[in-house]
Amino acid sequence: MKSINPATGEIIQEYQEHSSQEVQSIIHQVDLDWQDWKSTSFSERAVMMKNAARILRERKAEFARLMTAEMGKRLLESEAEIEKCAWVCEFYAEKAEEFLRDEEIVSDASRSFVAFQPLGVILAVMPWNFPFWQVIRFAAPALMAGNAAVLKHASNVPGCALAIEAIFREAGFPLDLFRTLLIPSSGVEAVVAHPHVAAVTLTGSEAAGSHVASLAGRHLKKTVLELGGADPFIVLEDADLDLAVKTAVTARMINQGQSCIAAKRFIVAEQVALPFERALKTAFESLRMGDPMDQDTQVGPLARPDLVDEIESQVNRSVDAGARLVAGGHRPDLKGCYFEPTILADVRKGMAVYDEETFGPVVSIITVKNAEEAVAVANDSAFGLGGCVWTSDLQRGEAIARRVETGAMFVNGMTRSDPRLPFGGIKKSGYGRELGSHGIREFVNIKTIWIG
């Protein structure tokens, strides 16, 4: 298993994969630690989780550089990701007991209530694009709920996977309560089938989610899936255009556009379509592309060469189908996995950038006549993860937010995840929720207790 720097193409480090026998042994050890962990108090767990937050902050620079080296995220974004991980650890350390407190329900019993009890060992199959956040946002609530975890991380970020395992150990958690499995995707089936694995959470592609869900279904194990997105960014005629454009750059370019909740389909009212396009073009052409370790860099590389191939293919196929290239559209003369920030206009149904998820720095502008058409276009997607709408009329914005078929909608703000709010999608963006009180209840036994 190789860790390769996408900015330079150089091998950072090679790791020996775990054998099938080692995997079985690790899961057995995790289950043994869980047998004791499930009986610990929330206050005991909270001490360790707060320790994890402290370690993340104290070693932020180290972890951020590791993340940037392995998958190309800009160093400033990597540092922000570590801060967010510390926040989610602190949030669940403080809130888990409240979220999982017994819920009294009046019935024909002298007392009846619902208890929330841990399930056991949870398998987390995680992607490379937010290599710390995706893992920690699962692990913090799962461990605070009394579960244990095994992690199958993306094969291009093994250093991050092992670092996270070490953080939990250093924080005082039992040595084998959270373990990383260095295995290829082909090794996931045996882990799902293991009798000690109680449930599976996956963040990744639609294909990966479908495959893992089918495996889990075969073994009658619960799954939570957070998959792809083609998030709409709706700009109505009465929007604050300057703010919408400024936010659009961040909403699309975060992590070089490699985010499931990045804005991807820019649905713009025809009255403001041309000024929006011109302002966005000016902003995109001023972005500085370069070394992600450089604090002045605004656009870094994509994570792997095949991702550059894919985004280039989507752009070319869309242009061939009639999309108008406004900016970018090519590979720059740089060593590494780079692609220019790109804007395509006159986008319509049937084009790759309309129908498919675009995982890279590409904006698709779809012009609509009015708000009704904007909602129709927003809902004309196989995905339903997040989205946003821009308007000076907040009541109108709320009404539109309610009608767009997604797991989250933001009015006059970019789509983002927040430990306090549930996060997840519908349609081919998956099912189940992470974060908030809803997220911590995904991997517990919701048990009714009736006392006569």
Of the listed 79, 226, 310, 357, which one is catalytic?
226
Say if CB 94 and CB 169 are below 8 A apart. no
The H-assigned helical ranges of 130-232 are 133-144, 158-170, 188-193, 206-218
Active site residue 337: no
| Torsion angles phi and psi, residue 438, rounded to 5 | -65, -40
**How much of the chain is in helix, strand and coil states, percent to nearest 5?**
45, 20, 35
Residues in CB range of 336: below 8 A, 6 or more apart: 5, 6, 7, 8, 9, 72, 301
Spatial separation of the C-alpha atoms in residues 403 and 48, rounded to whole Å: 42
Of the listed 85, 260, 337, 388, which one is catalytic?
260
| Torsion angles phi and psi, residue 287, rounded to 5 | -70, 135
Closest CA to 29 of 194, 230, 154: 194
Give the HSE-up count for residue 183: Cα atoms under 13 Å, Cβ half-sphere: 26
* Strand, helix or coil for residue 396: helix
Q: Is the dihedral of CA 34, 417, 75, 185 positive or negative?
A: positive
Spatial separation of the C-alpha atoms in residues 25 and 31, rounded to whole Å: 10
DSSP 179: E
Active site residue 89: no
Closest CA to 257 of 182, 340, 335, 184: 340
As given in the structure block, the two tokens for residue 366 are 């779809």
Spatial separation of the C-alpha atoms in residues 332 and 355, rounded to whole Å: 26
Q: Identify the helix (H) or strand (E) that includes residue 125.
A: strand 121-125
* Strand, helix or coil for residue 223: strand
Say if CB 232 and CB 365 are below 8 A apart. no
Catalytically active residues are 226, 260
